[in-house]
Amino acid sequence: MGVIPYNITFADKKRFDQDGYWISPKLLSDETIERLRGAHDRIWNKDYDGAGMPLHAFKLSENPHALRKFDNGWWINDEVRSVVTDPNLGEMAAKLLNEDEIRLWHDQVIYKPGTSGQETTAGNVGWHQDYGYWKSSSTTNMVTVWIALQDTDLNNGGMMTILGSHKWGSVEGSDTFFEQDMAKLKQRFATRDWIEEPCILKAGQASFHHALTFHGSSTNFTDQPRLSVVAHLMPGNTFYKEGRARHDNVRLLGPRPQFGQKFDNEFFPVLYRQ
Ligand SMILES: O=C(O)CCC(=O)C(=O)O
């Protein structure tokens, strides 16, 4: 159980810096993939490890094609925890971001149902920048690790990234994960070269995208769900930045958080320290 080590090369880092994303080799054994697929089943059935509770109570949508998304799965599931807090993942993130310490910002467990060929946008993830949600973080130098639990391409609703969009800075109103009209969002955001690149992954591979990289995903046309586990990672010295942006992580700093306070308590575990 855990992440297979991999040494980031000069070429990997160059690709990440240039395109705003990079696809890793297979990082999970077949056994770990199976265990994480089992973790999905347990989470959606509310079968939790430990005596804790999830961050949010959730109810599955009445729409069978709707995306399911669960934040901080590591609080209540041991398999998710062992992957999203793995030092090997942290080391790869540190090398890509050029940081010497990496902590977990939060994770996501994402399930996109298959529609068996039906056209519906219920499982879409709108074009967005992750940092659009993370403005209470002092840095944009953060990375999302999206780990595939089956072979994933556009046919089963895989992600697409916009090449080089991490160089556009933080774009106003880019917190559009839950909007499902991809064409409308494209019209809004494609004010510069808009080059869509599919993230084609084998089971156990991960795509690492920068917090400013625009990305989104469309319908899963297959008859099987698209399962993933996602780790959002930040530098170890990230702190609460003054501004009006809200994020649930701010609550995890305590009842009277201070601007400048580091996200460095036990809710934000260290994955890697040089
Ligand atoms: O699962 C998807 O299609 C998108 C997920 C996403 O936006 C993310 O992990 O940052």
Q: Which one-letter DSSP state was computed for residue 188?
A: H
Scanning the structure block, which residue is given the tokens 């697929």?
37
Residues forming beta bridges with residue 226, ordered by sequence position: 112
Ligand 1 pocket test: which of 230, 232, 233 has the largest number of ligand atoms within 8 Å of its C-beta?
Answer: 230
Q: How far apart are CA 180 and CA 125, in angstroms?
A: 6
The residue behind tokens 């991809």 is 182
> In sequence order, which ranges of the chain are alpha helices (DSSP H)?
10-19, 30-44, 78-84, 87-97, 182-189, 248-251
Q: Is the CB of 211 under 6 A from ligand 1?
A: no
Task: Provide the pLDDT for residue 58.
Answer: 82
In this prediction, residue 245 carries a pLDDT of: 76
Span 181-223, pLDDT tens digits: 999 999 999 999 999 999 999 999 999 999 999 999 999 999 9
* Cβ of 159 less than 6 Å from ligand 1: yes
Please tell me the predicted confidence (pLDDT) of residue 57. Answer: 80
Mean pLDDT of 79-89: 98
- Cα(57)–Cα(35) distance, integer angstroms: 23
Q: How many Å lie between the centroid of ligand 1 and the Cα of residue 256?
A: 31
Strand segments, DSSP code E, in the chain are 21-23, 68-71, 101-112, 125-128, 143-148, 159-162, 196-198, 206-210, 215-217, 226-235, 270-273
- Point out the ligand 1 atom lying closest to the alpha carbon of residue 108: 9
Q: Which residues pair with 230 in a beta bridge?
A: 108, 146
Give the alpha-carbon dihedral of 249, 251, 256, 258, to 10 degrees: 10
Mean per-residue pLDDT of the chain:
97
Mean pLDDT, residues 8-28 taken together: 98
pLDDT-derived band at 36 (thresholds 50, 70, 90) equals very high
Strand arrangement, sheet containing 159-162: 125-128, 215-217, 159-162, 196-198
Q: What is the domain partition of the chain in residue ranges? A: 10-242
Ligand 1 mean position, distance from CA 228 (Å): 9
pLDDT higher than threshold 90 for residue 107: yes
Query: What is the per-residue pLDDT for 56?
Result: 85
CATH 2.60.120.620 assigned to 10-242: yes
CA distance 79 to 163: 32
> Do residues 90 and 102 touch, judged by C-beta distance below 8 A?
yes
pLDDT, one tens digit per residue, over 113-171 is 999 999 999 999 999 999 999 999 999 999 999 999 999 999 999 999 999 999 999 99
What are the structure tokens assigned to 147, written together?
Answer: 């780990």
